[in-house]
Amino acid sequence: MQINGSVALVTGANRGLGRHFVRQLLERGAAKVYATARDPERIDIPGVSRLRLDITDPAQVAAAAAAAPDVTLLVNNAGISTSTNLVTGDLDGIRRELDTHFYGTLAVVRAFAPVLGNNGGGAILNVLSAMSWFSYDGANAYSVAKAAQWALTNGVRLELAAQGTLVTGLHLGAADTDMMAGYDGEKADPAEIVRAGLDGLAAGRIEVLADDWSSHVKASLAADPREFYTAVV
């Protein structure tokens, strides 16, 4: 994927990883960056085209695709964390996680797949998580939603291969963003996470493990899961 000269659209661009994606895309020579958020007035990066986009709102997704017919690079970054468990947690919280990470991402992919195809194929970068591969008491809805988003990423990669669209999944552990403000463990620099994702995309990789934790979790999948959970619980 040639980032220099590309036309990119970033979801959830008002803060955290999304804000870093917008900045670094501009630094790498993107010709245009559509920065989207539920409240686009909160996007304060100069030189971008701001769009209102709640990825769980079908009308707003359709409007964004119509307003940005020149996109060649789609970054699905928008996400939430409700800190909800599965057995005793609020069902509305669980649904919000799935509506955002799975159905919202899918809606954006479906809306922009024809746009990317019409513009030569381009690429999609989905921001996933090491929690695509493990569960954590207190955030199990997030894990389920991210696992579904990982499966979605693998599926649409196969479906969009014929039109020449690269689909890359970016996995990370904890990053020092607003979403992880209450987490006391080690947190990565979000700028480094984004840099790893864009480097991987530019190199044509389909999966990027952005930090040591995501690499460790992925490697643990081949072992007895009891070993992993004994070590982390």
- Please determine, looking at this structure, whether the domain spanning 7-232 carries the CATH number 3.40.50.720: yes
CB 37 within 8 A of CB 43: yes
**Nearest one of 213, 199, 175 to 18, comparing CA atoms:** 175
CB 217 within 8 A of CB 133: yes
Question: The whole model's pTM is what?
Answer: 0.93
CA distance 154 to 111: 18
CA distance 4 to 8: 10
Q: Which residues of the chain have pLDDT under 70?
A: 175-185, 187, 233
Q: Which amino acid is at 233?
A: V
- pLDDT on residue 194: 97
- pLDDT on residue 231: 79
Using DSSP, how many helices (H) and how many strands (E) does the chain show? 8, 7
CB 143 within 8 A of CB 150: no
From residue 30, how far is each of 72, 115, 117, 198 by CA, in Å?
10, 17, 19, 12
Mention every residue, 6+ apart, whose C-beta is less than 8 A from residue 23: 45
Which pLDDT tens digit goes with each residue over 21-41? Answer: 999 999 999 999 999 999 999
